[in-house]
A and B are shown apart, each in its own frame.
Chain A
Amino acid sequence: MNGLDRLNRKLAKLKGNQGAVERSVVGGTDGILEVLLAEIDETMLPREMILTDERGGTIKLLVASRRLMRVGAPGAPVDRPIPPRAPVNDEDDGAADIVAAVNGRLRDFLDRAQTLDIDAVRPQDAIDLTEIGCPAERLAQTLRRSGGTTPVDGIAACLAEAVAGLQLCDGEIARHVGDPDLAERLAAFAEAGLPALDRALGAPQTGPDCAILPGPGPDALLLARLSDGRRTALVLTPAAAFGRLAGLCRAMSA
């Protein structure tokens, strides 16, 4: 438990509760990721790290042999395993899944959290030896590269999140993705409603800008319009993508 206590103390320094709101600053998520990676790098025996935010949302990290084996879905009672793949000795593919999960679900969870608690337990089930995971060292190198000078293609990432989406260039539809019926409705919105959103954003701007409008109902789709100053994505995404869209905006403007 000494390792856990040490991690808790580190996390408390990075994201405290109530009196430490001012310490939730730019780079906070990256700082926490660094601490988690350091802890993963020191963990040999299988451990399930459970991060809990102030709203009771959780995300689980399965760690063993200095590797991150699995990133659980936030709030899900049972982790979502990575589907088995063949051949299982393709380490690059396994690592790519983990990197994507860290940059997606984990980063999203940390971005949204105001306070964090962490617990670690011995996993109930034995580690599946066919799960490859990603070594902490390699994960750190990859995250440093992706967080460094590589520009973020927010338009492509936004379209990848979409249930349906349009890519617009100079006001014209350049391509559409996803559900064709919804894409057709988006095309109608692009004519009737998008100019007002463009005006609200002061478009065209040289930098990134974004507008997000939720549909009716708690689990409704989000309407999002994201521009990098040259191209615009107009998409319908699941409501759960809100945090990732926000992260894209920050990354594009960094």
Chain B
Amino acid sequence: MAPPVSIKSLRESLPGCHALAYVDMEARLVLLSDAQVPLPQEAFDGLCLRARLALGDPAARAACDLFGAAAPPAEATLFRDGAWEVFVRGSVCPDEALCALLAAEAAPDLALHHLRAAVDDFAEDAGMASADLRE
């Protein structure tokens, strides 16, 4: 059965999105990726690392203390080097996240909206992809 959405079609649906990756933050592994123009693996590895820094400990634990929340933030938005990076953690697999690299003029809140809706679909797809790789 075809997946509900592919990483490529999701990237193409996000205005101003240069690159999109689905990563395992804990394993520091890029599971799926797509870019408008080919990017070196280091660029996706960098996205994965920054997702881990923004959404993982110790920032996550400090954010929980700040907000008095039980769960860490599910998303983060960075603006660096004149571009947006948005990260959305899955609820099915909280160690995994969608990471998007957006142009400065893009709307990061709109990207967050779309990534929130899609992230858990990728949890299942990436799981199947990992299983395929292991077989």
Chain A residues close to B by CB (< 8 Å):
21, 24-26, 28, 111-112, 114, 185-186, 188-189, 192-197, 199-202, 205, 207-216, 220-221, 223, 236, 242-243, 246, 249-250, 253
CA distance A209 to B80 in the complex (A): 5
B36–chain A nearest beta-carbon distance, Å: 12
Instruction: Name B62's contact: one of A114, A189, A220 (CB within 8 Å).
Output: A189
A15–chain B nearest beta-carbon distance, Å: 11
Point out the residues of chain B lying under 8 angstroms from A194, CB to CB.
Answer: 59, 62
Contacts known (A24-B15, A197-B53); A211 close to B61, Cβ less than 8 A? no
Contacts known (A186-B66, A189-B65); A201 close to B58, Cβ less than 8 A? no
Could you tell me if A188 and B79 are in contact, using CB atoms closer than 8 angstroms?
Answer: no
Per DSSP, chain B at the interface is mixed
Instruction: Name A193's contact: one of B66, B69, B75, B110 (CB within 8 Å).
Output: B66
Point out the residues of chain A lying under 8 angstroms from B15, CB to CB.
Answer: 21, 24, 114
Could you tell me if B109 and A223 are in contact, using CB atoms closer than 8 angstroms?
Answer: no
A93–chain B nearest beta-carbon distance, Å: 32
Nearest chain-B residue to A111 (Cβ)?
B107
Q: Chain B: how many interface residues by the 8 Å CB criterion?
A: 36
CA distance A112 to B107 in the complex (A): 6
Point out the residues of chain B lying under 8 angstroms from A202, CB to CB.
Answer: 80-81
Point out the residues of chain B lying under 8 angstroms from A212, CB to CB.
Answer: 76-78
Interface residues of B in 48-70 (CB under 8 A from A): 49-50, 53-54, 56-63, 65-67, 69-70
B125–chain A nearest beta-carbon distance, Å: 25
Could you tell me if A196 and B67 are in contact, using CB atoms closer than 8 angstroms?
Answer: no
CB pairs A–B below 8 angstroms (9 shown): A114-B107, A196-B56, A196-B57, A210-B78, A212-B77, A212-B78, A215-B67, A215-B69, A249-B79
Point out the residues of chain B lying under 8 angstroms from A253, CB to CB.
Answer: 79, 82, 104
Could you tell me if A197 and B65 are in contact, using CB atoms closer than 8 angstroms?
Answer: no
B37 CB-CB contact with A under 8 Å? no
Could you tell me if A216 and B71 are in contact, using CB atoms closer than 8 angstroms?
Answer: yes
Could you tell me if A192 and B61 are in contact, using CB atoms closer than 8 angstroms?
Answer: yes
A53–chain B nearest beta-carbon distance, Å: 10
A182–chain B nearest beta-carbon distance, Å: 9
Nearest chain-B residue to A212 (Cβ)?
B77
CA distance A186 to B107 in the complex (A): 27
Instruction: Name A213's contact: one of B76, B84, B105 (CB within 8 Å).
Output: B76
Interface residues of B in 77-125 (CB under 8 A from A): 77-82, 84, 104-105, 107-110
Could you tell me if B77 and A211 are in contact, using CB atoms closer than 8 angstroms?
Answer: yes
Nearest chain-B residue to A202 (Cβ)?
B80
